[in-house]
Structure 1
Amino acid sequence: MAGRRPRVLIGNWREEAQLEEQERLRDFMLKRERGELLVQKINSLQENLLQKTELSVSKDGFVHFGDAVLLLNPAPAAPVERDPGACGSLALALPLDDSYLYSAAPLRPPGGVSAVQGVDPVRRNTFHILSVAGGAVEEPIRFGQKFGLGTRGGFSDQMLYLASDHKSFLRFAKKSHLQQVFLTEEMSYLTCWQAAFWDPQLRLEHEGLPVPANSKIIITHCHTNRSLAVPRNFWTRSYFGKEYEVVCHTYLDSHKAEEDKNYWEIVTGNPGNRDGSMLDRPDPQPGGIRKELCEEA
C-alpha cells in the first residue's frame, strides 16, 4: 500500500546500533578519565568545599586577626514573608551552583558568595580574619578598624577575598539589583571591611574597643559605606539546597537603626568539640521568641 512504512527493519541497522553503543561507551570512558562524570563531581565537591574544618577558639571572648570563623546572619526576630524556611540562621559561604555539576569545565573558584542554611563549619563557609593595616596575628580587631575576610574554600592554597564595589549598569546583584558582593584574588581598597556595634545609640561608646565573638554586630564595607546584608527574599535552588543572595545594602527602620538583614555574628570554635562551633553549646535561653516564631511560620 502506497505510503505505508514497513514493519521490518531493513539494512545494516544492527551494525549502526552497535556503533552507537560503542560510541557511548567511548564517551563514558573519556569522561571518567577527565573526572567529568556526575558522581565524580559530587565526590570532588564533598572532598573540597564540604570537608569539615576546625574554627579558632577564642580564649578571651574577642575576635583576632588570623582567626578562622563563621560569618553568621542570625535568625530574624520575625518570620520571613513568602519563605518560612529562611527563618533560621544563615552562614556566608561559597555558592554551589548546578553549573559545577553539569559543566565540562574543571572545578574552579566561584566569583560570588551566598548565604546557606548549613552552619556546620566546612571549607565553603569558613573565613579568615585578615589584617590590611599591619595588625599582628592574634591581636584583637577593634570596632572601626579595617580588616579583610578571606577564604580558601577547598581550592588548593589560593586565598579569595570578600569584596564589593559601587553598583553600576553592568555590575549589580542578579536578583535584587543591589550592590553586589563578590570574591577576588587580590587585596585592595575593595576588600576592606570594618565592624560597628549593632546599637547606633551606643556605637560611639564602643568605637576602638575589641570586637566580641559570637555577638551581634554590623559589618560595613569601607569604600562604599554600605553594610553587608542578606535580604532573604532572593534565592536560587541548587543541588545542595537554597542559596540566598548576599548584598551590600544598609536596611534602616523607622528609628534609623539597622534591621535584622544587616546583623552578623563572628562565630568561633567550640573548645569542647574540635569540629564544632560555639553554636553547638547550650542555648542560655532555650525556646526563645525566635524559635517560637520559626515554628509558627
Structure 2
Amino acid sequence: MARNSYHSRVRVGNWYENRLMEEDLRKAAERSRTAEKSFQELSAALLEEGDVSVCPDGLLHYGDTVIIHSPVVQPHKGAPRASFPCTLSATPSRYELVHNAYEDVSLTASPEHHQPVLKNVFTITPRSRNYELGSVLCYGDPFDLTHVAVNGRRLYVTSPVGSALHSARESRRQEVLLRTDSSSHSAWRLQPHEPSLRLTYEGQPVEVGARIQLIQTMTNQPMVIEEEFSTNTIFGVEQEVSVGVVNRATTRAASTLALLTWTRRSPPPPPPQELQQEGERVWHGEKDAEEDEEEKEKKREEEEEEDERPREVEGDIDDDAEGIKLALEAEDDDDVSLTDEKE
C-alpha cells in the first residue's frame, strides 16, 4: 500500500497525527498571509506624504518639521554611480515594522526618497523652557530631533557613545538610533560647514537650505553619512549613518547636510508703473464685466418678450372665439323668438 494513500478523515493508520499536521500547516499559512498583508500596508504607510513646515521668512524655527538632506555623497570606487544626494531616513526592518518595535531603529540615508514622506520627516524640538516653539533657531542652540513613527509614537534621534554593543555595523562608529526618551545623547546643535565661518555665524539665525553640520553636543562630533558602507533595507540599498570624526585618510564620509522645508518668501512690492498697469487691467476688467452684464440683461428681456408674444396671440384667439360664441347664441335666441311669434 502506498504511503499517505488515505485522506486524514479516513481513520486508517496515523489519521489523528495527519489531521493535526494539516491544521498546523493551515494556521501557519494563514499567519504568513496576515503578516505579509500587514507588512505591505505598513511599508506603504512609510511612503505616505509627510507634513513639512512652511517658513515665510526663510529661517528655521523650533517646532519646524524638516527633511535632512545631503547634497553630495561619493561612494566607494567601482560603484555604479559616481555621486548622488541622500536624505536622512528612519527605515525599520521587516521584523520591527511587523511587530511594532520602533525603538532602536537605525537611521540610514536614502538615495531614492527625497520628497517629504513619513519615514524622512523630523521635527526640531526645544530642550528647555528658554527656547519656545516658534522662536528662531540659531547656530549653537541645543535642540532635540524627533521623529513620529507609523504608530504615532514620538521618538528621539539618539547616538549612544560607541561601545562593543553600540556601534555601527560596518564603520564601527557611533550608531544613530531612535529612542523613546530624551537624554544627553539626543542633544544636537548646528554649525556652518565652512570652518572659517563658524565664529562669524555663532548665534546667528539658521537659514533654510544652508549647508551645515549636525553636531552631537555631548561628543562634539558631526553626524555623517558613510560613503563606503551601505546596508540593505526593505526599500533597497541605503547608506549607513553614524557619528564620528571625518578623516579622509582612513574612510570616506559626508558630513555636509541641509535642513529643508517649504520656503515661501513674500514677493517685493511692484514699482508704481506696474501698479498703474495693474489698476488699468482691473478697470478694463470691471468695464468688460459691466458690458457683459448689460448684454445678458438685454438677452433676458428679449427672451421674455418672445415668451409674451404667443400668450398675446392665444388671448386674441380666445377673445375671437368668445365673440363668435356669443354671436351664435344671439342668432339662436332670435330664431326662437320668431318661431314663437308665428305660432
Deviation at 1:193, TM superposition (A): 0.5
Residue 107, structure 1, aligned to residue 103, structure 2: no
Deviation at 1:10, TM superposition (A): 4.4
Determine if contact 1:115/1:243 at 8 Å carries over to the other structure. Answer: yes
2:83 equivalent in structure 1: 87
Determine if contact 1:41/1:100 at 8 Å carries over to the other structure. Answer: no
Q: In the TM superposition, what are the counterparts of 1:142-221 in structure 2 within 5 Å?
A: 142-156=138-152, 158-221=153-216
Deviation at 1:120, TM superposition (A): 1.5
Residue 28, structure 1, aligned to residue 29, structure 2: yes
Matches of 1:69 and 1:99, distance apart in 2 = 27
Structure 2 stretches lacking a partner, 5+ long? 9-14, 266-343
Deviation at 1:182, TM superposition (A): 1.4
Deviation at 1:40, TM superposition (A): 2.6
Residue 228, structure 1, aligned to residue 229, structure 2: no
Matches of 1:115 and 1:190, distance apart in 2 = 20
Q: Structure 1 residues 212, 252: closer, same or farther in 2, change over 3 A?
A: farther
2:334 equivalent in structure 1: none
**SS of alignment partner, residue 41 of structure 1:** helix
Determine if contact 1:80/1:87 at 8 Å carries over to the other structure. Answer: no
Determine if contact 1:50/1:122 at 8 Å carries over to the other structure. Answer: yes
Matches of 2:75 and 2:25, distance apart in 1 = 50
Which structure is higher in RCO with an 8 Å CA cutoff and minimum separation 6? Answer: 1
Determine if contact 2:208/2:263 at 8 Å carries over to the other structure. Answer: no
Deviation at 1:25, TM superposition (A): 2.7
1:281 equivalent in structure 2: none
Q: Structure 1 residues 11, 176: closer, same or farther in 2, change over 3 A?
A: closer
**Count of aligned positions:** 252
Residue 63, structure 1, aligned to residue 72, structure 2: no
1:75 equivalent in structure 2: 72
* Per-residue CA distance 1:181-240 (angstroms, 9 max, x = gap): 111111121111110011101110000000111121011000011100001211122331
Determine if contact 1:165/1:224 at 8 Å carries over to the other structure. Answer: no
Matches of 1:64 and 1:216, distance apart in 2 = 16
Structure 1 stretches lacking a partner, 5+ long? 1-7, 273-297
Q: Structure 1 residues 24, 85: closer, same or farther in 2, change over 3 A?
A: farther
Q: Structure 1 residues 244, 133: closer, same or farther in 2, change over 3 A?
A: same
Matches of 2:4 and 2:228, distance apart in 1 = 59
Matches of 2:103 and 2:227, distance apart in 1 = 21
1:14 equivalent in structure 2: 7
TM-score between both structures, scaled by the size of structure 2: 0.67
Q: Which moved more, 1:12-21 or 1:137-146?
A: 12-21
1:285 equivalent in structure 2: none
TM-score between both structures, scaled by the size of structure 1: 0.76
Matches of 1:226 and 1:139, distance apart in 2 = 26
Alignment partner for residue 37 of structure 2, among 2, 25, 39?
Answer: 39
Deviation at 1:170, TM superposition (A): 2.5
Residue 116, structure 1, aligned to residue 110, structure 2: yes
Determine if contact 2:162/2:174 at 8 Å carries over to the other structure. Answer: yes
- Residue identity opposite 2:151 in structure 1: F
